């Protein structure tokens, strides 16, 4: 047996002797290498029997429209073949079926899965481990976290479910099981270890903060359970890194602490409400850490504070470095955003801050971002360069919603219609309108007034990605 094989064998057996010999706690003091042949022969079976009944298959039916060819809309062809020629290119509806996994998280039938599993579904069905096929309704869909909560009804009493386990209790090297339905072959269990924690650069959802595992995760596993050997739900499998579409041992799960907040919102019949800090910042690099007198890189350097916002009330200043929240380390801006998102919107959170080469402890009020001013969402029309663009007043709430941190005021373009003047002149969603013909634009009402006049030439200033561009357009 090779060194790596011995190490893997030892790692797999690391928690088995503890769990199946009667211990359910996996504290650092109890983790040990198996010492006898009996310990080496222990099985995952008891844990699987406990977990598997709560993991379900999620089937969806989606109706999609596909256009045959853009040539049918071409005026050149219509000129020779008549307007009826365009009718041949009308979108055709087609049904598509997809398969994913889900996890029962309550005895009365609430199921958590991935948003991308049920996205745009016209019909959702859940198949239990005992092969019962039940219709499901969508209770809450949260694309920001790539999570969705479904509800099924059973006439046969309480359903098996998994309890959440604190994802912050995980350590790299802990044994985990992944349960789902890869490639539609049926319920499958794979084992592995926690490869890494707090992965924030994956780019799968808006709240990047993942548990990484080498337990085999493949297409169809999305929405399935990642569990510890005592049967605790530690995460929802959501993505893999792969060049072929199959598992190469790099899988990612949404931590249970985030999943629990979404499920709780579904159980209470409301929307997911997340607090905000009211700051913008950047990750502290090695060079910055040295300049600030920190012994290691990490944390968030505060660049801007929203006046009257939670950070301002807490006493945070530009130049502070946020190192932790509620005694949990913050390594970068994504980690800070995730940690805030798992907290409620009541009370306060402890902030560990580095200021003037000294640690400072502050209390951050947990508040919702305000929607002030109201967004006044408007589709612009008429013969002017922005016709076909949908605009709105920016506020902290809208900035959070469209992922533009720090864009707390002004007028933003939300959508641009295909074939419109706005699209033709190169305007894009996310552009912030700074000025028109030398006049600073403050809100949508002022923008409408500025566009109401006929102009031979338009000079429009746009902030795109932090850089102001000036467009000169002939009327």
* Catalytic residue ranges: 116, 146, 222
Helix/strand/coil (H, E, C) string of 357-405? CEEEEEEEECECCCCCCCCCCEECCCCCCCCCEEEEECCHHHHHHCCCC
Q: Is residue 236 within 8 Å of residue 222, measured between CB atoms?
A: no
What secondary structure letter does DSSP report for 276?
Answer: B
Helix, strand, or coil (residue 262): helix
Query: Residue with structure tokens 């306060």?
Result: 348
> Parallel, antiparallel, or unpaired: how do β-strands 439-440 and 321-325 relate?
unpaired
CA distance 274 to 396: 12
Record the tokens describing residue 5, joined without a space.
């094989």
CA distance 265 to 254: 17
CA 98, 151, 115, 184 torsion: positive or negative?
negative
Q: Say how far residue 273 (Cα) sits from the centre of its chain.
A: 14
Longest dimension (CA), the chain: 88
Record the tokens describing residue 177, joined without a space.
């099981």
CA distance 386 to 383: 9
Is the N-terminal amide bond of 373 cis, ω within 30° of 0? yes
């Amino acid at each position: 047996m090779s060194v790596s094989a011995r190490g893997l064998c030892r790692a797999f057996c690391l928690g088995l002797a503890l769990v199946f010999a009667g211990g359910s706690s996996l504290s650092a003091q109890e983790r040990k290498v198996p010492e006898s042949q009996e310990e080496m022969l222990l099985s995952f079976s008891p844990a699987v029997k406990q977990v598997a009944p709560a993991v379900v298959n999620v089937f969806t039916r989606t109706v999609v429209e596909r256009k045959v060819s853009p040539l049918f809309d071409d005026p050149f062809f219509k000129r020779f073949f008549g307007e009826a020629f365009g009718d041949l290119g009308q979108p055709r509806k087609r049904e598509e079926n997809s398969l994913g996994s889900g996890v029962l998280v309550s005895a009365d039938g609430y199921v958590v899965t991935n948003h991308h599993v049920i996205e745009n579904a016209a019909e959702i069905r859940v198949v239990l481990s005992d092969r019962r096929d039940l219709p499901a309704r969508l209770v809450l869909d949260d694309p920001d976290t790539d999570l969705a909560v479904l509800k099924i009804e059973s006439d046969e009493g309480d359903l098996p479910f998994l309890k959440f386990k604190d994802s912050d209790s995980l350590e790299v090297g802990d044994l985990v099981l992944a349960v789902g339905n890869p490639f539609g072959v049926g319920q499958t269990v794979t084992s592995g270890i926690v490869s890494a924690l707090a992965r924030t650069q994956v780019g799968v959802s808006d709240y990047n903060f993942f548990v990484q595992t080498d337990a085999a995760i493949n297409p169809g596993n999305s929405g399935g359970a990642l569990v510890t050997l005592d049967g605790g739900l530690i995460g929802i499998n959501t993505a893999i890194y792969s060049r072929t579409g199959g598992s190469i041992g790099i899988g990612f799960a949404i931590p249970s602490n985030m999943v629990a907040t979404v499920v709780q919102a579904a159980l209470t019949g409301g929307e997911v409400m997340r607090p905000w800090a009211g700051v913008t910042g950047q990750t502290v690099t090695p060079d910055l850490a040295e300049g600030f007198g920190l012994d290691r890189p990490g944390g968030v350097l505060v660049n801007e504070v929203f006046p009257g916002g939670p950070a301002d009330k807490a006493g945070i200043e530009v130049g502070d470095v946020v190192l932790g929240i509620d005694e949990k380390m913050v390594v970068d801006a994504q980690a800070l955003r995730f940690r805030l998102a798992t907290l409620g919107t009541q009370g306060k959170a402890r902030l560990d801050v580095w200021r003037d080469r000294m640690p400072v402890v502050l209390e951050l009020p947990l508040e919702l971002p305000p929607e002030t001013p109201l967004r006044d969402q408007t589709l612009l029309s008429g013969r002017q360069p922005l016709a076909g663009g949908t605009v709105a007043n920016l506020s902290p709430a809208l900035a959070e919603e469209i992922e533009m941190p720090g864009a707390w005021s002004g007028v933003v373009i939300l959508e641009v219609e295909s074939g419109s003047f706005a699209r033709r002149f190169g305007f894009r969603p996310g552009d912030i309108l700074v000025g028109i013909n030398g006049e600073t634009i403050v809100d949508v009402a002022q923008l409408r007034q500025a566009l109401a006049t006929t102009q031979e030439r338009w000079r429009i200033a746009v902030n795109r990605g932090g850089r102001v561009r000036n467009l000169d357009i002939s009327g």
